[in-house]
Structure 1
Amino acid sequence: MAETRLYSIAAIAKALDVPESTLHYWKNRFDDVLPSVGRGRGKRFRAEALDIFRAIGRMLAQGMSSADVRATLARTYPVNVAVEPGAAPEAVSEPAAMATPPARDAALAMAAHIGAEIARSLAVHLKDLAAPVHPGLSGAQAAALESELAAVRAENASLSEKMRLLETELVRLRKDRRELENYLVDKINALRRDESPS
């Protein structure tokens, strides 16, 4: 049977030996995957949240960015969907079997689980929509355009590197020219001194 105990941030901090301020930061950053009930100061976390907090700490310690941690968590854990008592539409009449509180709680828990799975699935698939979109182009045309843009970016990077090398070479040539001018001026002055009558 799953553990039904609820944890405060202070209790989680003690259990994981992590500062409360760090847990508050993680809670605010990754709230959508932390299974919890309540709001504000009354928010409490389910037992499985401890594993998620541990995973967050481990991934951040490995140097992963918050976005990478969020993506990994979204693939691993269901997105948290809060179910508020009385949030069901009042216009819908409930069947007699659901009139009792245990049946209603079970139905709400099932609906919350289904909603969580839908939200997790949407979170994973919405990342694909964040890719650059080219309105009015077919998939093949958009792919060809992206490929062409990638080639232009690569060529631009190559040309920038060549430009940097040319600028370095130009600075060296200017320095060599000044040194050669100084050398020739010294030679001409030495020849003039040798030719001048004493």
Structure 2
Amino acid sequence: MKWLSVAEISKITMIPAPTARRYASLFKDFLPSKKMGRVTKYPDSAVEIFKRIVTLYNEGMVTTEIEQELRAEFPRTIEISPSERGVPVQPSMNLQAELSGAFAEMMDKMSRSLEVIADQKSIIEEQREDIYKLKKAFVLLARSQKKIKALPQLDIRAITDEYDERTNALEQKDVELEVATAELAQENTSLKNKLEIMEAELMRLRKDRRDMENYFLDKIKKLKNQS
């Protein structure tokens, strides 16, 4: 059997070294290991477990779900040194690492989701304000046209031509504003849909957090009962 360090496993699996070390800490129960000097090494069979962890994360699973999947696929490894035999087992540092890693991951996801939702709401509000301004400008243009048409007609040819030219320009501007308003309304609808998707994702993250808290509370109770 060949024993490998985390750095060597990182090169074989193409997993970044910091990520591989985090996996080794989070899923220690499923990775047999032994100390060789100051370095912890793992058997070459652990390479498949690291690859499986990457695959499960890529499939969208969270840490607790991956642990359950590994529990069904691989035997758990619990190491007890000779000096610890006959002494009640205390909660290992692995639990602390798992708790901190899982909570950090969850809080990072929630933070990113909240930032995206806030950005989407800000964009929607800006679009609404632009639409309101365009509608107001359209009303003012329409009123101006009515006032111009209500002016008494002059016999001077040059003034009549200028009036017709300005009227045509205003009508063209009306058409452009109507098109712009329609486009902004459509974009506003798209942004609302994105906001609904992000809110649904936030609800899913909140559910994951509640499930994780229940899982950790249950695990801590079991550890206390074993003490």
Question: Which category of TM-score, normalised to the shorter sequence, fits these structures?
Answer: 0.3 to 0.5
Bigger share in helix? 2
Q: Which has the higher contact order (CA 8 A, sep 6+)?
A: 2
TM-score w.r.t. structure 2 length?
0.37
TM-score w.r.t. structure 1 length?
0.41
